[in-house]
Chains A and B, each alone.
Chain A
Amino acid sequence: MASVDPTVTTGKRSWYKRNEIAVTPWLFLAPAILFFAFYVLWPIYQSIAISFYAWDGLGEARYVGMGNYVELMDDRAFEVSLWNNLKWLLFYLLAIPAGLFIALFLNQTVTGIRIYKSLFFFPFVLSQVVVGLVFSWFYLPNEGLLNGLLGLFGLGPVNVLGDPTWATYGIIAAGLWPQTAYCMILYLTGLNAVDPEQIEAGRLDNAKGWKMLWYIIIPQLKPATFIAFVVTIIGALRSFDLISIMTNGGPFGMTRVLSFYMFEKALSEYGFRMGYGAAIAVVLFLIMLVFIAYFLWSMWREEQGR
Chain B
Amino acid sequence: MRSTTKTMLTALAGSTMFAGAALAELSGDLRIFLDTSNPAPRATMEKMIGDFQALHPDLSIETTVIDREAYKTQIRNFLTADAPDVATWYAANRMTPYVSAGLFEDVSDLWQEPEIAENLASTKGAMTIDGKQWGVPYTYYQWGIYYRKDIYEELGLNEPANFEEMKSNCQAILDSGRKCYTIGSKFLWTAGGWFDYLNMRTNGFDFHMELAAGEVKWTDDRVRQTFANWRTLIDMGAFVDNHQNYSWQEALPFMVNGEAAAYLMGNFAVAPLREAGLTDDQLDFYQFPAINPDVALAEDAPTDTFHIPANAQNKEAARAFLRYVVSADVQTEINNGANLGQLPVNASASVDDDKFLNEGFAMLSSNSPGGVAQFFDRDYPAEMAAEAMQGLQEFMVIPDNLDDILNRLDKVAERVYAK
Contacts and interface: CB of A to CB of B under 8 A. Distances in A.
B329 interface: no
A148 interface: no
A140 B73 contact: no
Nearest to B385: A270
Interface in B380-395: 382-383, 385-386, 390-391, 393-394
Given A141-B245, A162-B244, A253-B390, A56 B397 contact: no
Interface in A262-290: 264, 267-273
Interface string B380-419: 0011011000110110011000000000100000010000
Given A252-B393, A271-B386, A162 B245 contact: yes
A270 B76 CA distance: 12
Nearest to A140: B245
Interface stretch (B5-13, B98-106, B281-289): B98-106
A59 B103 CA distance: 10
B139 to A, nearest CB: 20
Chain B interface residue number, banded: 20 to 34
A272 B73 CA distance: 9
Interface in B180-199: 186-188
A141 to B, nearest CB: 4
B37 to A, nearest CB: 15
A264 B377 CA distance: 15
B242 A58 contact: no
Interface string A236-268: 000000000001101111000000000010011
Interface residues of A, number: 28
A57 interface: yes
B242 A162 contact: yes
B293 interface: no
Given A58-B80, A162-B245, A272 B188 contact: no
Nearest to A139: B245
Contacts of B393: 250-252
Nearest to A159: B242
B241 interface: yes
Contacts of B377: 270
A59 B99 CA distance: 11
A273 B383 CA distance: 9
A248 B186 contact: yes
Nearest to B390: A252
Contacts of B386: 264, 268-271
A273 B97 CA distance: 12
A57 B80 CA distance: 10
A30 B377 CA distance: 49
Given A58-B80, A140-B245, A267-B73, A251 B397 contact: yes
B76 A58 contact: yes
Interface in A211-259: 247-248, 250-253
Nearest to B394: A252
Contacts of A272: 76, 97, 382
A118 interface: no
A261 to B, nearest CB: 12
A301 interface: no
Contact of B103 (A58, A76, A164, A247): A58
Interface in B85-103: 97-98, 100-101, 103
A161 interface: yes
A142 interface: yes
Contacts of B391: 252
Interface centre among B186, B187, B377 (most CB of A within 10 A): B186
Contacts of A141: 241-242, 245
Interface string A132-143: 000010001110
A58 B186 contact: no
Contacts of B73: 267-269
Contacts of A269: 69, 72-73, 382, 386
Nearest to B245: A162
Contacts of A161: 245
Nearest to A59: B101
Nearest to B383: A270
A250 B100 CA distance: 32
A162 to B, nearest CB: 5
A261 B377 CA distance: 19
B385 to A, nearest CB: 6
Nearest to B250: A140
Contacts of B100: 59
A57 B79 CA distance: 12
A88 B2 CA distance: 36
26 contacts: A56-B97, A58-B80, A58-B101, A140-B245, A141-B242, A142-B242, A159-B245, A162-B242, A162-B244, A248-B186, A250-B186, A250-B188, A250-B393, A251-B244, A251-B393, A252-B244, A252-B393, A252-B397, A268-B73, A269-B69, A269-B72, A269-B73, A270-B377, A270-B382, A270-B386, A271-B386
Interface of B: 69, 72-73, 76, 80, 97-98, 100-101, 103, 186-188, 241-242, 244-245, 377, 382-383, 385-386, 390-391, 393-394, 397-398, 408, 415
Given A58-B101, A268-B386, 16 more contacts: A71-B415, A140-B245, A141-B241, A159-B241, A250-B393, A251-B244, A251-B393, A252-B244, A252-B390, A252-B391, A252-B393, A269-B73, A269-B382, A269-B386, A270-B382, A271-B383
